[in-house]
Amino acid sequence: MIKIQVSDAALLSAYIQGDDKAFETLVKRSKSKVYTTIYLIVKDRYIAEDLMQETYIKAIDVIRSGRYNEEGKFLPWVARIAHNLAIDHFRKEKRYPTIVLEDGSKVFNSFDFAEDSAEDLQMKSDQIAHVREMIKKLPEEQKEVLVLRHYEELSFQEIAEQTGVSINTALGRMRYALINLRKMMEKQESAYDSKLYPKWPC
């Protein structure tokens, strides 16, 4: 017997009508995406977990108050909430995550936002969002290793065990992820502020 998956829109409708289990299903479907969205910004698993809980609390508040109007597009909507909460936390903490490329250069350095103008903050927020978009364009297996290594800070042994591949394969995927990320950055180099993104050596 083929099991038909209930749509997000139907689950949202059921939750609005009082079915709490419907929202639990929505959480199960979206929590991986929400967690990753947050983790790519805050680079701390405990903070990411806290902000993920806060994301769903905020989502519940919006839905119950009748302000939800995304026409059933729950995942991108809740991911935006997660992103905004992470950016807010990010500004308060005054720091950016760092990805070290294979040549030793860094995607992000640490910043002190105390004296930044609203325009500077928006620019930096846009820059990190742009890098996140580039990371999304990586092949899935490369993106997975990059996130596990640089954001969840797992060892390559742990990554190998979690992804079910050899350590050499995990290392290879990381190397190609960094190479591809660097290539994308070089293509977009003119769009980056030199303070954020140092010119890559030839």
Question: CATH: 1.10.1740.10, 1.10.287.110, 3.40.630.10, 1.20.120.80. Which one for 8-93?
Answer: 1.10.1740.10
In this predicted structure, what is the pLDDT of residue 30?
A: 92
CATH class of 118-191: mainly alpha
Per the DSSP assignment, residues forming a β-bridge with 106 are 100
In this predicted structure, what is the pLDDT of residue 108?
A: 52
d(CA 110, CA 25) in angstroms, rounded, equals: 38
Judge whether 64 and 161 are in contact, CB under 8 Å.
no
Dig out the tokens for 120 from the structure.
């500077």
Residue 192 gets which letter from DSSP? S
Name residues whose C-beta falls within 8 Å of residue 175's C-beta, 6 or more positions apart in sequence: 102
Dig out the tokens for 48 from the structure.
């990411």
Residues of the chain with CATH 1.10.1740.10: 8-93
Helix, strand or coil, per DSSP, at residue 106: strand
Helix (H) and strand (E) counts in the chain: 8, 0
pLDDT in tens, the chain (202 residues): 455 688 888 888 888 888 888 889 999 999 999 999 888 888 888 888 888 888 998 889 888 888 888 666 888 999 999 998 888 887 766 544 555 555 555 555 434 444 455 555 566 666 667 777 888 888 989 888 888 877 777 777 888 888 888 888 888 888 888 888 888 877 766 454 444 445 444 3
d(CA 47, CA 35) in angstroms, rounded, equals: 10
Residue located via tokens 């954020």: 196
Residues of the chain with CATH 1.10.10.10: 118-191
In this predicted structure, what is the pLDDT of residue 182?
A: 82
